[in-house]
């Protein structure tokens, strides 16, 4: 009997990869997960392939030593279950982003802040391959005009495009999915015609938070259009929008709008501000500096 049992002895290392993945998912603490990966090379592969969140920040790296496409290839091949990744200030190109989007199709949040080599081509691949994408930061990516958002997923709910150079057509494409709840267009530059009025044309009816800080070509016509087309809007940052004078329309169209930030809006008269506030209980206008509105539900809390 004992002799027969010897032939059936096994250890955890003999389990299938699926079983090891299940065990890894049950580990609660960071220490336990790191210890799992130190057991052997195979366990390390299981740990890496189970990785769902990854933050890489090249801001502090010396010139030419930042994270590049080569690093992306390793991530893409080894972390297929990745759902969140931060690549701010990295030197990746469209080629690297395409590889990542094709291999990591479960991505839900991607931070590309100041990835200056990314263009509309890379964004198009991201939108086509990662249909669960919910949150995207392309702030200070000055080669992105917005054209790559054509046919984007309705699951895209949070988009930060601070200081981007966008075309009027690109702005329309950014809204095409119809699911945006948070939109940051702070300090953007618009190529050609002012495309901001498209926000109020029915594509952004789910919008709750809108940030136009230092967007100095916002006009009363834009405000009027958005007030009619965004009935769920709750908070709006209009700080440093120097050409706005019309405020009554805000209250008429956006019944749920409670907070408007208006630091340095010299053409907005006090009477208009008072009219907006008195239209509904709980409304307020903030005249202090509000650089950016970032709701707690828009972006992941990185450790």
Residues 260-272 have pLDDT tens digits of: 999 998 888 777 7
3 occurs within a structural domain: no
5 occurs within a structural domain: no
Same domain? For 45 and 78 the reply is no
Q: Is the pLDDT of residue 8 over 90?
A: no
Report residue 127's pLDDT band, with 50, 70 and 90 as the boundaries: very high
Same domain? For 33 and 99 the reply is no
Tokens 């709840």 belong to 181
Angle between helices 94-103 and 69-78 (to 10 degrees): 0
Same domain? For 32 and 146 the reply is no
Quote the domain boundaries for residue 29.
13-50
Report residue 1's pLDDT band, with 50, 70 and 90 as the boundaries: very low
Same domain? For 158 and 131 the reply is yes
pLDDT for res 106: 94
68 occurs within a structural domain: yes
**How many CB atoms are located within 10 Å of the residue 8 CB?**
6
More confident residue, 242 or 36: 242
293 occurs within a structural domain: no
Number of domains in the chain: 2
300 occurs within a structural domain: no
Q: What is the mean pLDDT of the chain?
A: 82
More confident residue, 297 or 153: 153
Same domain? For 44 and 183 the reply is no
46 occurs within a structural domain: yes
Closest listed residue to residue 241, CA positions, set 272, 220, 225: 220
Coil/strand/helix, residue 235? strand
Model pTM score: 0.81
Report residue 162's pLDDT band, with 50, 70 and 90 as the boundaries: very high
Domain CATH for 264: 3.80.10.10
302 occurs within a structural domain: no
Q: How confident is the model over 95-120, as a mean pLDDT?
A: 96
Q: Is the pLDDT of residue 250 over 80?
A: no
pLDDT for res 63: 37
Same domain? For 17 and 115 the reply is no
More confident residue, 12 or 282: 282
7 occurs within a structural domain: no
Q: How confident is the model over 53-70, as a mean pLDDT?
A: 61
Percent of the chain with pLDDT over 90: 49
CB 223 within 8 Å of CB 249:
yes
pLDDT for res 44: 46
Coil/strand/helix, residue 159? strand
Strand partners, 110: 85, 136
What's the burial of 20, exposed, middle or buried (CB within 10 Å: 0-12/13-18/19+)? buried
The number of angstroms, rounded, from the C-alpha of 71 to the middle of its chain's C-alpha atoms is 22
Same domain? For 153 and 64 the reply is yes
Report residue 61's pLDDT band, with 50, 70 and 90 as the boundaries: very low
Same domain? For 113 and 259 the reply is yes
Same domain? For 38 and 123 the reply is no
Same domain? For 223 and 249 the reply is yes
Same domain? For 94 and 210 the reply is yes
Q: Is the pLDDT of residue 215 over 50?
A: yes
Same domain? For 91 and 132 the reply is yes
């Amino acid at each position: 009997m004992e002799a027969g049992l010897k032939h059936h002895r096994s250890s955890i290392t003999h389990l299938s990869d699926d079983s090891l993945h299940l065990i890894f998912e049950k580990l609660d603490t960071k220490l336990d997960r790191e210890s799992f990966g130190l057991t052997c090379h195979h366990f390390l592969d299981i740990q890496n392939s189970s990785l769902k969140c990854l933050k890489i920040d090249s801001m502090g790296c010396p010139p030419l030593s930042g994270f590049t496409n080569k690093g992306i290839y390793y991530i893409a091949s080894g972390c297929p279950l990745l759902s969140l990744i931060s690549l701010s200030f990295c030197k990746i190109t469209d080629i690297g982003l395409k590889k990542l989007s094709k291999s990591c199709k479960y991505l839900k949040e991607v931070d590309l802040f100041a990835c200056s080599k990314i263009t509309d081509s890379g964004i198009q691949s991201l939108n086509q391959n990662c249909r669960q994408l919910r949150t995207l930061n392309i702030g200070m990516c000055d080669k992105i005009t917005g054209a790559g958002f054509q046919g984007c997923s309705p699951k895209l709910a949070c988009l930060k495009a601070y200081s981007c150079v966008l075309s009027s057509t690109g702005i329309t494409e950014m809204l095409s999915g119809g699911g945006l709840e948070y939109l940051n267009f702070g300090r953007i530059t618009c190529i050609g015609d002012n495309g901001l009025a498209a926000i109020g044309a029915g594509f952004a009816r789910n919008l709750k938070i809108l940030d136009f800080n230092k967007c100095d070509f916002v006009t009363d016509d834009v405000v009027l259009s958005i007030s009619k087309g965004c009935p769920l809007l709750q908070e709006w940052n209009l700080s440093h929008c120097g050409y706005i004078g019309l405020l009554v329309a805000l209250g008429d169209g956006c019944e749920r709008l409670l907070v408007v930030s208006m630091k340095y809006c010299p053409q907005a008269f006090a009477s208009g501000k008072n009219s907006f506030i008195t239209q509904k209980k709980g409304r307020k206008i903030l005249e202090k500096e509000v650089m950016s509105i970032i709701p707690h539900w828009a972006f992941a809390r990185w450790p």
